[in-house]
Amino acid sequence: MQRINYELHDLQAFVAVAERNSFRQAAADLFLSQPALSRRIEKLEDALGVKLFERTTRRVQLTNVGQVFLVNVRDALNGLEDAVLGVADLAAHRTGTVTFACVPSAVWHFLPDVLKRFSAQFPKIRVRVHDESAQDVLNLVLSGEADFGISFTGAENPEIHFQPIYVETYVLAMRNDHRLAKRKKLSWKDTVDERYISVAKSSGNRSVLDAALAGVEKHPWISCEINHVSGILALVESGLGVAAVPGLSILPERQSTVVGVPLVNPAVKRTLGLISRHQHAMPPASRTLFDMMSASIGKQGRRA
């Protein structure tokens, strides 16, 4: 394809002459001399290989080709202006999309207040949230599909910056009419005779629990496995058994039927963190939301 040699100000000069039907008036609008304006039009015509204007001593008029070209050039210049303004809007947080990922328990506890404030401040920015398992959150951040994430995995990954924001304790979840429900804390040996429900081995929570219990002599026998903590809590609520889950996962709507008693000997904890890619500059709006979450969740963690 042949490259046509022209510059943006050549197109602007063409539009000015076409709208004014006068080289003199167009030159005044553009703060150019008439010879300089004429050279721009001649350069554009030479580059295109066509005549854009019919010139006489009394008037300037677009050729048929020039009329078609004017429509296309106006569209192109308007599109360019929109693109430039769009970049400015993005930089000023006026428009755009922020995409991040988080483990499900973080959605209810940490996001509503922050997202309300962010949306009030930047009402035209769309926020897309991927509430996924810990491994999926990590993968979304690593692939760049999410600008950042909230998870408890990734600290060991050299490509990830992990900023701790909240330390969460695991509890034994059970129905509130269970015989152990009134206890202030429970040892793992208290769970040995219980019908125990567990997340599958592919779960990040299972990895945390297995690592913590590696030196414990007596483990509860797993009677049922399921992929997600939400599924575990549904089974616990039905009275099928008990389960070790992160404390934040027992949401208020379940607290009338399900209670969580802290587990000790050993106590099991996980650290939630904001994760992002090393050497990756987030878009301005994403960085703003990231910083707002860091400040807000950090305060909640200190209060806890």
DSSP state string for 230-259: HHHHHHHHTTS-BEEEEGGGS-GGGTTTEE
| Residue-range domain boundaries for the chain | 8-91, 96-164+271-303, 168-270
Torsion sign (Cα): 128, 129, 132, 137:
positive
Q: Express each pLDDT in 156-180 by its tens digit.
A: 899 999 999 889 899 999 999 999 9
Indicate the range of 8-22, 77-91, 251-265 predicted with least confidence: 77-91
Q: What are the backbone dihedrals phi and psi of residue 281, each rounded to the nearest 5 degrees, phi first?
A: -85, 115
Percent of the chain with pLDDT strictly greater than 90: 39
The residue among 6 and 145 whose pLDDT is bigger is: 145
pLDDT for 302: 46
What's the token pair of residue 262? 């802290």
Paired strand residues for 102: 131, 150
Across the chain, mean pLDDT equals 86
pLDDT for 190: 92
pLDDT for 303: 43
Overall average pLDDT of the 246-265 stretch: 89
Give Dmax over CA atoms of the chain in angstroms.
105
Q: Is the pLDDT of residue 139 over 50?
A: yes
pLDDT for 83: 62
Indicate the range of 72-76, 238-242, 299-303 predicted with least confidence: 299-303
DSSP secondary structure letters along 78-89: HHHHHHHHHHHH
Contact (CB, 8 A) for 300 and 164: no
pLDDT for 1: 42
Task: Give which of 146, 123, 175, 169 is closest to 277, Cα–Cα.
Answer: 146
Q: Express each pLDDT in 53-109 by its tens digit.
A: 988 777 888 999 988 888 888 888 777 765 665 555 555 556 678 899 999 888 888
Task: Give which of 303, 258, 247, 286 is closest to 141, Cα–Cα.
Answer: 286
The residue among 76 and 112 whose pLDDT is bigger is: 112
Task: Give which of 74, 69, 80, 82 is closest to 12, Cα–Cα.
Answer: 74
Overall average pLDDT of the 107-126 stretch: 88
pLDDT for 173: 96
Q: 């389960």: which residue's tokens?
A: 243
Overall average pLDDT of the 122-135 stretch: 89
Indicate the range of 124-128, 186-190, 227-231, 279-283 predicted with least confidence: 279-283
CATH topology of domain 96-164+271-303: D-Maltodextrin-Binding Protein; domain 2 (3.40.190)
Domains 8-91 and 96-164+271-303 share a fold: no
The CB-based long-range contact list for 4-12 (8 Å cut-off, 24+ gap) reads 4/47, 4/48, 5/47, 6/43, 6/44, 6/47, 6/48, 8/80, 9/40, 10/40, 10/41, 10/43, 10/44, 10/47, 11/44, 11/73, 11/76, 11/77, 12/77
Q: Is the pLDDT of residue 50 over 60?
A: yes
CATH topology of domain 8-91: Arc Repressor Mutant, subunit A (1.10.10)
Q: Where are the alpha helices (DSSP H) in the chain?
A: 8-20, 23-29, 34-48, 64-91, 104-121, 134-143, 204-212, 229-237, 284-303
Architecture of the structural domain at 168-270? 3-Layer(aba) Sandwich (3.40)
Where does the pLDDT of residue 238 fall: very low under 50, low under 70, confident under 90, or very high at 90 and above? very high
**CB neighbour class for 28 (10 Å; exposed up to 12, middle 13-18, buried from 19):** middle
Residues 6+ apart with CB under 8 A from 81: none
pLDDT for 162: 95
The residue among 141 and 29 whose pLDDT is bigger is: 141
Residues 6+ apart with CB under 8 A from 204: 133, 134, 135, 151, 152, 153
Helix H or strand E segment including 54? strand 53-55
